[in-house]
Structure 1
Amino acid sequence: MLKGNFFRGLGYLGEGFQLIRQPGLRLFVVIPLVINVLLFGLLFYFLADLFSELITTAMNWLPDWSWLQSLDWLFWILYGGVILLMLAYGFVIVANLIGSPFYGYLAELTEKHLTGQEVSTDDSWSAIIKDIPRALWREVQKIVYYLPRAIGLFVIGLIPVVNLVAAVLWFLFNSWMMALQYVDYPADNHKVSFRALRSLLGETRLSAFGFGLPVALAAMVPILNLVVVPAAVCGATAYWVRENGATRK
């Protein structure tokens, strides 16, 4: 039997957007956000330059009299759409890798804001820097968990008739992964293993799906996905404080 509250879970992302505006939390929202914007701006620039060369090459293959020569603008529209979608889906993975040390500390500050209690005693910049390898390894664990299941769903999507169910399974799986991804930050601060976290989320699975659903949708929207990551971290911390406490009652 599924436990938790789906509608309560839906509210955590909205709470996260409110929390990232708190003065004590803004710095650890802005720093990874600026890094990610710069990174993806450069990526978009170089991809645009590469695609420009590909369009020129393709146009040179066409006869001068061909009406297709006048459709280079269409290639640019298609390019923009494809790149935006690629960035939308890829942004969350890369943003989490880059910002993981900051997001762990953001989760710690958010929990302190919500509970008034210290999570750890070492809050120096040197501690954040030293924590980078461990934080990156935690992200790798999530990717290793995600990839085989994603590949399995991809294979299911290739099977006629069965692939009708694949879209629903993908959506549910992505919602679950978003909850797992972000609740992991406060869980890691409490030295909860990734395996134990999956079990804890399973105890309030409906709440987990409720939280992960809007995060998964927001991550697909360009521009919005720039701010959804820190908001999801804060919302996931609120989830951890309330849902994890609920499972202990």
Structure 2
Amino acid sequence: MSSNGRRGVGGFAEGIGFCLKGLGWVARHPRWWVFGLVPALVSTVLYVVALVWLGTHATDVAAWATPFADDWGWRDAFRTLVGVMIFVVGLVLSVLTFTAVTLAVGEPFYEKLSEKVEEDLGGLPEGADTSLWRSFLRSVRDSVVTLFYVLMFTIPLFVLGFVPVVGQTVVPVLGALVSGFFLTAELTGLALERRGVGRRGRFALLRGDLGLALGFGVPLFLAFLVPLVSIVVMPAAVAGAAMLVRVRLAGPARERHPA
């Protein structure tokens, strides 16, 4: 497949295919699927509590954030709208950070799951041994940096959300694309780190195959928006990411980003 094809519609479809392959793998290995549910379940409980609090206090947060509207005649309607937008942004951030937090919390679980996928595909790459502590620190560091990048996009999109028509049409689509890209960046971290590819190399690889990255990440982002689906899908997402790296990115990664 040509580079242009990978970056376009063909790449997007191929990314979706890796989502389905990940689902197929965990369906054939139910023990590993259950194994991967544990950290996702723990993270989900924490996020549900946080989102319930945000949902019940969104108007109060909006009032605190908009003191300039105290004397407006339509203050309540305005703050209700702001409260809804705050909750939506919180929901989007929860989807994005859910992956990072779950991968950090469940590092031993998902590292083993990812390794098992690669073993089924022919074995681990050379030099794959990485200490648990080093892997955990890498995960936390990369997640913080990724969250910073996410906020760089999310804050402007949040502001644009108030623009009539554009805020209800274009902004959600852009938000899904941005979120999907960063989800792919998080999920491929395990397999690419195993090959000595750091955060910068990972982002470069995914930008080079943007259609592939979006095709893999956007469906997962949309699925994670559905309550409890993230618990079920997370092990499949890790498995699919391992396949994506091994089948599509492993060769280029070793050639272009050896360190």
Mapped to 1, the partners of 2:143 and 2:20 lie a distance apart of 24
Q: How does 1:1-249 map to 2 (within 5 A)?
A: 2-4=4-6, 5-21=11-27, 22=29, 25-26=32-33, 28-40=35-47, 43=49, 47=53, 90=94, 93-100=97-104, 101-102=107-108, 103-118=110-125, 120=127, 122=129, 127-128=131-132, 131-160=135-164, 162-163=166-167, 164-245=169-250, 247=252
Mapped to 2, the partners of 1:203 and 1:87 lie a distance apart of 29
Structure 1 residue 8 displacement after superposition: 1.5
Q: Please say if residues 179 and 221 of structure 2, whose CA atoms lie closer than 8 Å, have aligned partners that are also in contact.
A: yes
Deviations 1:31-84 (A, max 9, x none): 31342355456x279859x96xxxxxxxxxxxxxxxxxxxxxxxxxxxxxx999
Change in 2 beyond 3 A, CA 1:83/1:150? closer
Q: Please say if residues 176 and 212 of structure 1, whose CA atoms lie closer than 8 Å, have aligned partners that are also in contact.
A: yes
Question: What is the letter of the counterpart of residue 194 of structure 1?
Answer: R
Change in 2 beyond 3 A, CA 1:222/1:24? closer
**Which residue in 2 is equivalent to 1:68?**
none
Q: Please say if residues 92 and 229 of structure 1, whose CA atoms lie closer than 8 Å, have aligned partners that are also in contact.
A: no
Q: Please say if residues 43 and 101 of structure 2, whose CA atoms lie closer than 8 Å, have aligned partners that are also in contact.
A: no
Mapped to 2, the partners of 1:175 and 1:34 lie a distance apart of 21
Q: Please say if residues 89 and 220 of structure 1, whose CA atoms lie closer than 8 Å, have aligned partners that are also in contact.
A: no
After superposition, the CA RMSD in angstroms is 3.7
Change in 2 beyond 3 A, CA 1:190/1:28? farther
Q: Give TM-score, length-normalised by structure 1.
A: 0.70
Structure 1 residue 150 displacement after superposition: 1.2
Q: Could you tell me which runs of 5 or more consecutive residues in structure 1 were left unpaired when the two chains were aligned.
A: 52-81
Mapped to 2, the partners of 1:91 and 1:239 lie a distance apart of 21
User: What is the SS of the residue equivalent to 1:115?
Assistant: coil
Change in 2 beyond 3 A, CA 1:37/1:201? closer
Mapped to 2, the partners of 1:88 and 1:167 lie a distance apart of 10
Question: What is the letter of the counterpart of residue 215 of structure 2?
Answer: G
Q: Please say if residues 174 and 212 of structure 1, whose CA atoms lie closer than 8 Å, have aligned partners that are also in contact.
A: yes
Question: What is the letter of the counterpart of residue 157 of structure 2?
Answer: L
Structure 1 residue 239 displacement after superposition: 0.8
Mapped to 1, the partners of 2:175 and 2:145 lie a distance apart of 20
Q: Give TM-score, length-normalised by structure 2.
A: 0.67
Deviations 1:93-120 (A, max 9, x none): 2453143223344323322222323565
Q: Please say if residues 156 and 166 of structure 1, whose CA atoms lie closer than 8 Å, have aligned partners that are also in contact.
A: yes
Structure 1 residue 3 displacement after superposition: 4.1
Mapped to 2, the partners of 1:88 and 1:227 lie a distance apart of 19
Bigger RCO (CA 8 Å, 6+ sep): 1
Q: Could you tell me which runs of 5 or more consecutive residues in structure 2 were left unpaired when the two chains were aligned.
A: 57-85
Q: Please say if residues 25 and 110 of structure 1, whose CA atoms lie closer than 8 Å, have aligned partners that are also in contact.
A: no
Change in 2 beyond 3 A, CA 1:11/1:184? same
Mapped to 2, the partners of 1:169 and 1:131 lie a distance apart of 31
